[in-house]
Amino acid sequence: MKIVEVKNLTVSYDNNIVLSNISFEIEAGSICAIIGPNGSGKTTLLKAILGLIEIKQGEIKILGKNIKQVLDKISYVPQRFSFDKTFPITVEEFMALSLAKDGSRKLIAEKLQELEMHKTKNQLLSELSGGQLQRVLIARSLLNNPKILFWDEPISGIDIGGERTFYQLAKHLNQDHKITIVLVSHELDVVYKFANQVVCLNKKLICQGLPEKVLTPDKISELYGPVSLYKHQHHT
Amino acid sequence: MALLLALLGILVILRKMSFWGDGIAHASLAGIAFGLLLAFNPLLLAIVVAIIFALLVYYLERKTTLASDAIIGVLFTALMALGIVILNFKAGYQPDLMSYLFGNILAIKTSELYIMIICTLFILYFLLRYKQQLTLITFDRESAYLAGINVNLFDLLFYICLAVAVVLGTKILGIILVSALLIIPPSIAKLMAKSFKLINVLSVIFAEVIVISGLIISYYFNLPSGAVIVLTGVVIFLALVVIKRLKFI
């Protein structure tokens, strides 16, 4: 079953085309990595899928419907969460803002516990480190039991230990809770460690499909430039 | 009234919209002038002008590349200028106008009191009923949109509520000083609060303390109430800044 369908998508800012005629599909239950070098349009693609930016042409369907009809079935963790650091709000209060119904401290505690962040619940959000904030954002994204998780560079700012926890959590959510995960990364490494579907972007679609089939040295070269620092690795 | 402005003020300072209060208050002079010229409830006409002002700011923010403060700057000076021109057609001393410019709690008429109570209850209901949505929009617009909240509609309603509340506040503090009650209590609360819940509670408490103590002081020393209320708030604010600073040293 196709859970995300993108057809002939073009996005431009002030007549500069950022994404040109992109078409791909994401299978339900997969872990799909959208990869490409910096400035390749990965975040733009994600925001277009989520309806956060206007698209010039094309069609996007999630669970066969328009994004506005399935907002309660998706979650999103942005690449950089910029907020007013002088805003006095605790981690628990911040999480509670995203709950459909007020309250439910138990659910918040559960999700923070999953990310090993339960001790920070009464701390101010502005006092967290980058990695801690990222974990809180991930915990928040799990509050509404989503069917699809969209993560933009989810491990940026997380240390190696946290990265391992993140991979374990992602696999757990995907395998045990049957959540489809769509994540954006500029690191090819993420695909090999983690994904079973890949969408390669560089303002246009370079390739898509099973990583071990489509990520040939030629395609990697096309994606990251002729002198790629990445070695073609086997999918594990 | 103080409670209403204190609650709105929290969102105003967090959204960095402090200039809004001044803008609306000054723009409302056009409505007051119309009311005085036509001998028809100036408060009601000031509310109408304030709502038009809010709608125009909302529209121009989305249809031009101008920043909000520039839009507000253009609109409030235009409407204030219009008010001054209209007042030119009304000869003689205007005690009513003085009460709007500088505030006079004793000059509030019964009809105005009814308008103030009804509007205050409506706005308070809106703020309390949709507190979670308004806070999420203030803090994280993308998440608010993805939570299915109609962000633009809430922005528009917030602008209208703010506009009406500021005009109501002009009866107490006057056009020139009303934004102080919108800004000072939440600013004091923000200096002290360690959670969002606390900033709400402290803001309301300080708003009430400032208004009541300001009124008492102005009564005993026979001073203008609006100005004394503002000065009381500023003294508390500065005292807290100094206390925090000393602790820090």
Mean pLDDT by 10 residues, chain B (249 residues): 89 90 91 90 93 95 92 94 89 73 79 91 94 91 90 96 93 83 93 92 94 92 89 94 77
Note whether A88 contacts B140, CB cutoff 8 Å: no
Whether residues A182 and A236 fall in one domain: yes
**Which pLDDT does position A235 carry in this prediction?**
45
Whether residues A56 and A163 fall in one domain: yes
Note whether B132 contacts A72, CB cutoff 8 Å: no
- Establish, for the pair of chains A and B, how many residue pairs have beta carbons separated by less than 8 Å: 56
**Which pLDDT does position A132 carry in this prediction?**
85
What residues of chain A lie within 8 A of the CB of B135, using their CB? Answer: 97
Q: Which of residues 132-191 of B touch A (CB under 8 A)?
A: 132, 135-136, 139-140, 142-143, 145-148, 190
Strand A205-209's sheet: what is its strand order?
A: A74-77, A148-152, A180-185, A31-35, A197-201, A205-209
Whether residues A12 and A50 fall in one domain: yes
Note whether A78 contacts B197, CB cutoff 8 Å: no
What residues of chain A lie within 8 A of the CB of B132, using their CB? Answer: 96-97, 102
- The alpha carbon of residue A124 is apart from the nearest alpha carbon of chain B, in Å, by 7
Considering the domain boundaries, does residue A33 fall inside one? Answer: yes
Mutate to test the interface with A, among B65, B137, B146, B200 (most CBs of A within 10 A): B146
Whether residues A133 and A151 fall in one domain: no
The residues with which A131 forms a beta bridge, in sequence order, are: none
Query: How many residues belong to chain A?
Result: 236
Considering the domain boundaries, does residue A178 fall inside one? Answer: yes
User: Which of B139, B142, B148 lies closest to A97 in CB terms?
Assistant: B139
To which residue do tokens 């079935």 refer? A73
Asked if the C-beta of B36 comes within 8 angstroms of chain A's C-beta atoms, the answer is: no
Asked if pLDDT for residue A234 goes beyond 50, the answer is no
**Quick one: pLDDT band at residue A236, thresholds 50, 70, 90?**
very low
Considering the domain boundaries, does residue A46 fall inside one? Answer: yes
Asked if the C-beta of B194 comes within 8 angstroms of chain A's C-beta atoms, the answer is: yes
**Which pLDDT does position B77 carry in this prediction?**
94
More confident residue, A205 or B91: A205
Whether residues A103 and A203 fall in one domain: no
What residues of chain B lie within 8 A of the CB of A89, using their CB? Answer: 139, 195-196
Which CATH number does the domain housing residue A229 bear? 3.40.50.300
d(CA B16, CA B13): 5
- The alpha carbon of residue A203 is apart from the nearest alpha carbon of chain B, in Å, by 24
Considering the domain boundaries, does residue A37 fall inside one? Answer: yes
Note whether A93 contacts B196, CB cutoff 8 Å: yes
Nearest CA in chain B to A74: B146
What is the overall mean pLDDT for chain A? Answer: 84
What residues of chain B lie within 8 A of the CB of A74, using their CB? Answer: 146
**Which pLDDT does position A100 carry in this prediction?**
66
ipTM above 0.90, yes or no: no
Query: How many residues belong to chain B?
Result: 249
Strand A2-13's sheet: what is its strand order?
A: A16-27, A2-13, A57-62
Whether residues A151 and A235 fall in one domain: yes
Q: By three-state DSSP, how is residue B120 classified?
A: helix
Chain-centre distance for alpha carbon A184: 5
Note whether A76 contacts B143, CB cutoff 8 Å: yes
Asked if pLDDT for residue A77 goes beyond 80, the answer is yes
Mark which of A144, A159, A184 sits at the end of a domain: A144
Instruction: Write the DSSP symbol of residue B28.
Output: T
To which residue do tokens 């069609």 refer? A59
Whether residues A60 and A87 fall in one domain: no
Considering the domain boundaries, does residue A66 fall inside one? Answer: yes
Whether residues A43 and A152 fall in one domain: yes
Nearest CA in chain A to B194: A88
Note whether A83 contacts B196, CB cutoff 8 Å: no
Considering the domain boundaries, does residue A172 fall inside one? Answer: yes
Considering the domain boundaries, does residue A229 fall inside one? Answer: yes
Contacts of B91 (CB under 8 A, 6+ apart): none
d(CA A228, CA A225): 6
Whether residues A113 and A154 fall in one domain: no
Whether residues A127 and A165 fall in one domain: no
Note whether A76 contacts B148, CB cutoff 8 Å: no
Mark which of A93, A123, A144 sits at the end of a domain: A144
User: Which of B142, B145, B195 lies closest to A89 in CB terms?
Assistant: B195
* Domains: count for chain A: 2
Output the pTM of the full model: 0.86
Whether residues A192 and A231 fall in one domain: yes
Considering the domain boundaries, does residue A76 fall inside one? Answer: no
Residue B26, CA distances (Å) to B4, B108, B177 in order: 19, 19, 10
Dihedrals phi, psi of B132, to nearest 5 degrees: -65, -45
Mark which of A97, A112, A144 sits at the end of a domain: A144
Interaxial angle between packed helices A160-176 and A130-141, expressed in degrees from 0 to 180 and rounded to the nearest 10? 10
Whether residues A222 and A112 fall in one domain: no
Tell me whether residue A48 is exposed, middle or buried, using C-beta atoms within 10 angstroms of its C-beta: 0 to 12, 13 to 18, 19 or more. buried
| Domain assignment of residue A120, given as a range | 81-144
What residues of chain A lie within 8 A of the CB of B199, using their CB? Answer: 88
Mutate to test the interface with B, among A70, A76, A89 (most CBs of B within 10 A): A89
Note whether B145 contacts A52, CB cutoff 8 Å: yes
Closest to B19 (Cα-Cα) out of B60, B63, B59, B75: B75
Note whether A98 contacts B139, CB cutoff 8 Å: no
